[in-house]
């Protein structure tokens, strides 16, 4: 893979309700990838379900984004206001983040993540399953590059899984 050109146009745009089917298809790839680290099974229709998807257009605390590179669909980001780790409702939570394989390892994901982080100032939390080593490395790099200092995660257990939590300010 070649690195992303600094002039390569990366956009993070709010997803509209009409784009929910597009996000549902991307979520299939995203959730399928988790089957390597986490017990997920498709429904009887063969698809992985993401029951919270409609909330991104009905709840004011939920923000769906599509990531485009040179006008082509490259991934998505879901942001929720309110910690999923503590009771702090002022925290911004990177609920889900996904970049298609063909756009990875080129700096595109980092630049897209930074564009999302700049949209919401304040405290942030990003949770990553410890078993998902590539995502853990990605977020360690992305958050450290964003804050300008080395950032370390806090480990915690939830429902038999070990997670790493990055907490920082935007």
The number of distinct structural domains making up the chain is 1
In the chain, the N- to C-terminal Cα span, in Å, equals: 30
Q: Residues 6 or more apart from 125 whose CB is under 8 A from it?
A: 83, 84, 85, 91, 92, 93, 94, 165, 166, 167
Q: Rg of the chain over CA atoms, in angstroms? A: 16
Examine residue 4 and state whether it is found in any structural domain, yes or no. Answer: no
Q: Per-residue confidence at 4, pLDDT binned at 50, 70, 90?
A: low
Domain of 85 in residue numbering reads as 10-122
Dist. CA 2–CA 106, nearest whole Å: 6
Please check the confidence at residue 1 and state whether its pLDDT lies above 90. no
Burial category of 168 from C-beta neighbours within 10 Å (exposed 0-12, middle 13-18, buried 19 and up): middle
Reported for 135-139, long-range contacts at CB under 8 A and 24+ positions apart, including other chains, are: 136/164, 138/109, 138/110, 139/164, 139/166
pLDDT of the residue at 38: 60
pLDDT of the residue at 36: 65
Q: Per-residue confidence at 6, pLDDT binned at 50, 70, 90?
A: low
pLDDT of the residue at 37: 65
Please check the confidence at residue 3 and state whether its pLDDT lies above 70. no
Please check the confidence at residue 150 and state whether its pLDDT lies above 60. yes
Examine residue 1 and state whether it is found in any structural domain, yes or no. Answer: no
DSSP 18: G
DSSP 4: P
Question: Which tens digits make up the pLDDT trace of 82-131?
Answer: 988 888 899 999 999 999 999 998 899 999 999 999 999 999 999 999 99
Examine residue 44 and state whether it is found in any structural domain, yes or no. Answer: yes
Residue appearing with tokens 């988790």: 34
Burial category of 130 from C-beta neighbours within 10 Å (exposed 0-12, middle 13-18, buried 19 and up): middle
Examine residue 112 and state whether it is found in any structural domain, yes or no. Answer: yes
pLDDT of the residue at 140: 96
Examine residue 97 and state whether it is found in any structural domain, yes or no. Answer: yes
State mean pLDDT over 46-64. 89
Examine residue 70 and state whether it is found in any structural domain, yes or no. Answer: yes
Dist. CA 119–CA 153, nearest whole Å: 22
CATH number of the domain where residue 98 is located? 3.40.630.30
Examine residue 142 and state whether it is found in any structural domain, yes or no. Answer: no
Tokens of 79: 């942001």
Examine residue 60 and state whether it is found in any structural domain, yes or no. Answer: yes
On whether the CB atoms of residues 136 and 107 are closer than 8 A, the answer is no
């Amino acid at each position: 893979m070649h690195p992303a050109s600094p002039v390569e146009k990366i956009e993070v745009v709010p997803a509209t309700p009409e784009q929910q089917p597009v996000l549902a298809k991307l979520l299939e790839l995203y959730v399928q990838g988790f089957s390597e680290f986490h017990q997920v099974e498709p429904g009887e229709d063969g698809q992985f379900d993401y029951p919270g998807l409609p909330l991104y257009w009905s709840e004011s605390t939920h923000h769906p984004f599509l990531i485009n590179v040179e006008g082509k669909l490259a991934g998505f980001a879901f942001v929720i206001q309110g910690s999923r780790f503590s009771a702090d409702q002022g925290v911004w939570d990177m609920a889900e983040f996904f970049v298609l394989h063909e756009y990875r390892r080129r700096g595109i994901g980092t630049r897209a993540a930074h564009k999302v982080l700049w949209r919401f100032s304040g405290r942030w939390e990003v949770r990553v399953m410890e078993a998902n080593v590539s995502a853990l490395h990605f977020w360690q790099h992305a958050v450290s590059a964003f804050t300008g200092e080395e950032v370390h995660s806090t480990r915690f257990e939830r429902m038999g899984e070990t997670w790493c939590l990055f907490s920082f300010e935007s």
